[in-house]
Amino acid sequence: MSKRKSVTITADSILEGHAPPVREIVERLRAIIRATVPDAIESAHAVWHSLSYKHPDSGYFCGLFPQADRVDVAFEFGVLLPDPDRVLDGDGKQVRYLRLRDESELREAAFKQLLIEAISLPPGREAKLALIRAKQRIGSGHMRCSAP
């Protein structure tokens, strides 16, 4: 039986080797998340090369994905989030991204509002997926109302 050495993955190990501008963006985002969602639980993931955030009531709400030249903030259920400031990218069925190449691109108020909206979604992955399916049906005209 082989014994695997347990390696603790930290935010520092995720950021190791990234250029200072990317590290600075991540640190600013982390500070905003901590201030906006004080109950958030941060965890580092080597396989995904990311920091993920869960809320005790609503579950996973976003992840920070440092890249070579930018940081992507992934909102797994971003399609459900109001985005009046139009800061989110992506046109898939579920995930939306806030992509930052420079710290000056961050629209802090919009980011904070996205965080609040993300933790306000119903708890549980299945509930969120059901909302997405309902939204898709409404958008494709498949919802029908029967008149009495």
In this prediction the pTM is: 0.86
pLDDT of residue 146: 42
pLDDT tops 50 at residue 6: yes
Backbone angles phi, psi at 53, to 5 degrees: -130, 130
pLDDT of residue 148: 43
Contacts of 69 (CB under 8 A, 6+ apart): 19, 22, 101
Condensed to tens digits (0 to 9), the pLDDT of residues 56-76 reads 998 999 999 999 999 999 999
Confidence of residue 136 (pLDDT cuts 50, 70, 90): confident
Instruction: Work out the mean pLDDT of the chain and round it to a whole number.
Output: 90
Q: d(Cα 47, Cα 34) in Å, to the nearest integer?
A: 23
As beta bridge partners, residue 73 has 64, 98
The number of angstroms, rounded, from the C-alpha of 136 to the middle of its chain's C-alpha atoms is 21
Q: d(Cα 12, Cα 108) in Å, to the nearest integer?
A: 23
CA terminus-to-terminus distance, the chain: 69
Confidence of residue 41 (pLDDT cuts 50, 70, 90): very high
Q: With helix as H, strand as E and coil as C, how does 30-89 read?
A: HHHHHHHCCCCEEEEECCCCEEEEEECCCEEEEEEEECCCCEEEEECCHHHCCCCCCCCE
Residue 38 class from Cβ within 10 Å (0-12 exposed, 13-18 middle, 19+ buried)? Answer: exposed
Residue 14: strand, helix, or coil: helix
pLDDT tops 70 at residue 83: yes
Confidence of residue 135 (pLDDT cuts 50, 70, 90): confident
Q: Structural domains in the chain? A: 11-139 (3.90.1150.200)
pLDDT of residue 143: 44
